[in-house]
Structure 1
Amino acid sequence: MPPGGLVRIHHLNCGSFRGIPLLGEEPPAGAVNRERAVACHCLLIETDSDGLILADTGLGTADLQHPDRSLGADWVAYAQPALNPEESALRQVVRLGYAPQDVRHIVLTHLHRDHTGGLPDFPHAQVHVHPDEYRAVTDPTAAHHRHSLDRFMPAHRAHNPLLTPAPMADRTKWFGFPGVTRPQGLACELLLVPLPGRSAGHSGVAVRDGHGRWLLHAGDAYMYHGELEHTLPFSHPALEPVQQGAQTDVAARDATRDRLRSLRRDHADEITVFSAHDPWELARSTASKG
Structure 2
Amino acid sequence: MKVHHVNCGSMRPWGAGSLVCHVLLVEADNGLVLVDTGFGTQDCMRPARFGPFRRYFFRPSFDVAESAVRQVEALGFHRTDVRHIITTHFDADHIGGLADFPDAQVHVTAAEVEQAMRSPALPDRIRYRAEQWAHGPHLVEYDITGEAWRGFAAARELTAIGPGFVFISLPGHTRGHACVAVDAGDRWILHAGDAFFQSGTLDENPRVPALTAFERAVAENRKQVMDNHSRLVELHRRNEPDLMIVCSHDPTLYEQARASL
Partner of 1:261: 233
Identity %: 36
Residue 266 of structure 1 aligns with an amino acid whose one-letter code is R
Change (3 A) 1:254 1:235: farther
Deviations 1:171-203 (A, max 9, x none): 111012111012361112101111221001111
Distance 2:22 2:111 in 1: 23
Residue 148 of structure 2 aligns with an amino acid whose one-letter code is K
Deviations 1:63-111 (A, max 9, x none): 111102x112332111111121110001000000011011010001100
Pairwise CA RMSD: 1.9
Residue 171 of structure 2 aligns with an amino acid whose one-letter code is P
SS in 2 for 1:196: coil
Distance 2:135 2:14 in 1: 34
Deviations 1:110-151 (A, max 9, x none): 00010010001011111011221122234447xxx6544433
Normalising by the residue count of structure 1, what TM-score does the alignment of the two structures yield?
Answer: 0.84
* 1:151 matches 2:145: no
SS in 2 for 1:172: coil
Distance 1:105 1:224 in 2: 27
Contact 1:166/1:182, CA 8 A, preserved across alignment:
no
| 1:271 Cα deviation from its structure 2 partner | 1.1
Residue 3 of structure 2 aligns with an amino acid whose one-letter code is I
Contact 1:116/1:152, CA 8 A, preserved across alignment:
no
Change (3 A) 1:75 1:227: same
| 1:268 Cα deviation from its structure 2 partner | 2.6
Normalising by the residue count of structure 2, what TM-score does the alignment of the two structures yield?
Answer: 0.93
Contact 1:180/1:192, CA 8 A, preserved across alignment:
yes
Distance 1:85 1:109 in 2: 22
Deviations 1:18-74 (A, max 9, x none): 06889xxxxxxxxxxxxx62000000000113x100000000001111102x11233
Partner of 2:61: 82
* 1:233-272 superposed matches below 5 A: 233-272=205-244
Question: Greater relative contact order (Cα 8 A, min sep 6): structure 1 or 2?
Answer: 1
**Residues paired across the two proteins, number:** 261
Q: Structure 1: which 5+ runs fail to align?
A: 1-5, 23-35
Partner of 1:207: 182
Partner of 1:72: 51
Contact 1:134/1:163, CA 8 A, preserved across alignment:
no
Change (3 A) 1:251 1:46: same
* 1:177 matches 2:158: no
Q: Structure 2: which 5+ runs fail to align?
A: none
* 1:277 matches 2:258: no
Partner of 2:171: 196
Residue 211 of structure 2 aligns with an amino acid whose one-letter code is L
SS in 2 for 1:54: strand
